[in-house]
Amino acid sequence: MPTKWLPASADIDHLKHQAKDLQADFRAGKMSAYQRVREFHPKLSTFSDMAMSQRAFSLSDALLAIAREYGYASWPRLKAVVAQASGPDAPLNHNERIDDDVFRQAVDFLDEGHEALLRKHLEDHPALVHQKMQFEGGNYFAEPTLLEFVAENPMRQSALPANVVEIARIILEAGAKDNQKALNETVMLVASGQVAREHEVQEPLLDLLCDYGADPAAGIHAALAHREIAAVKKLLARGAPLDLSTASAIGMMDEVVRLLKAPDEGQLQLGLSLAAQNNRAEAVAALLAAGANPNRYNPPGGHAHCTPLQSAIAEGNLAAVKVLVEGGARLDIRDIHHNADALVWAEHAGSREVFDYIKSQASG
């Protein structure tokens, strides 16, 4: 679920009121509150709605969830940022937010494709490849090493040098190959990023990272959530396991049927989300028949602020929309970010066919 940007005029009392509202909604058993807490409270990320309903939820719990929803690690840290009246760095891109001159120079060499200069810079500063930048106010790319910058995800300049694969190899050989977390994070960023695909380096970068030991499974669900199907196929070819959610999202129905013989609830729900988003109507029907719930918010990794129906509507997937509605998907559930129901989503999604269908179901 994307985080909220903290406005420059943020007021700590207003943020406390948000926490109290979240606490009240949680105690009232609101599904949207459970989903927000599941996403942003680190100790409650695996709790089911039933488990949530049986747990006490203190104001300190709510304050922590609100802080993390805005992209800050804790309530004290969020409070300090507001007190400093510094606000987030939203108007600045990530390059401009780098406060270390040596690291920033390396990123500049990377972006410009200067192989020799980057190699010499890393030789002169051997610890640089293990250094992490600290970026607050976002829900990913919070502590990237230099290697993660090769993905251009999030976008910093919407471009990559033509020799980015060799640039990545230089960084790996300088020591980044020994950082499994950075390898896996970079796979995820490359696999789910459009810039790498548009510059025709997504698959070569994935091959390179896997050659150096990255886990191909680390990027597959992020790629599916962003409909980067070529990346998914590359990761499968590099050894990522074919689970139920992946098979559902790419329409491998023989595998869906096989894997549904012993379904896992988490895979059922993630599969439903990804199949709906990718217009795999047959897979959606099979997952619903196996017990997937169309009226739960999507799990983390599948656009957790909305429902499978809203995911299908957003992509203009009429076939999947029809299967979901016929399978019991409610039209009145509102998403977490915009507080909009299915009809409002359909009105803004751009597909006339989907809008007409949802409107007919809402008025019927």
pLDDT for residue 59: 85
The answer on pLDDT for 91 being more than 70 is no
**Mean pLDDT on 302-326:** 93
CATH architecture for residues 94-237? Alpha Horseshoe (1.25)
Q: Read off the pLDDT of residues 236-262 as tens digits, 9 standing for 90 and up.
A: 999 999 999 999 999 999 999 999 998
Cβ-contact 231, 191 below 8 angstroms: yes
Are 192 and 152 spatial neighbours (Cβ–Cβ below 8 Å)? no
pLDDT digits (tens, 9 = 90+) for 2-32: 567 787 778 888 899 999 999 999 999 999 9
Torsion on CA atoms 166, 167, 170, 176, rounded to nearest 10: -120
The pLDDT, as a whole number, for residue 331 is 96
DSSP-assigned states of every residue in 93-148: -HHHH---HHHHHHHHHHHHT-HHHHHHHHHH-TTGGG------SSSS-SS--GGG
315 CA to centre of own chain: 17
% residues pLDDT > 90 (the chain):
68
Q: Quick one: which H or E segment has residue 21?
A: helix 12-27
Chain-centre distance for alpha carbon 131: 24
Report the top-level CATH class of 246-363.
mainly alpha
State the span(s) of the chain assigned CATH 1.25.40.20.
246-363
Q: Does the pLDDT value for residue 208 go beyond 60? A: yes
Q: How many CB atoms lie within 10 A of CB 261?
A: 7
Helices (H) and strands (E) in the chain, counts: 22, 0
- As a whole-number percent, the residues of the chain with pLDDT over 70 amount to 96
CA 291, CA 345: separation in Å to the nearest integer? Answer: 25
pLDDT for the residue numbered 74? 86
Burial letters 25-54, b for 16+ CB under 10 A, else e = bbeeeebbbbbbbbbbbeebeebeeeebee
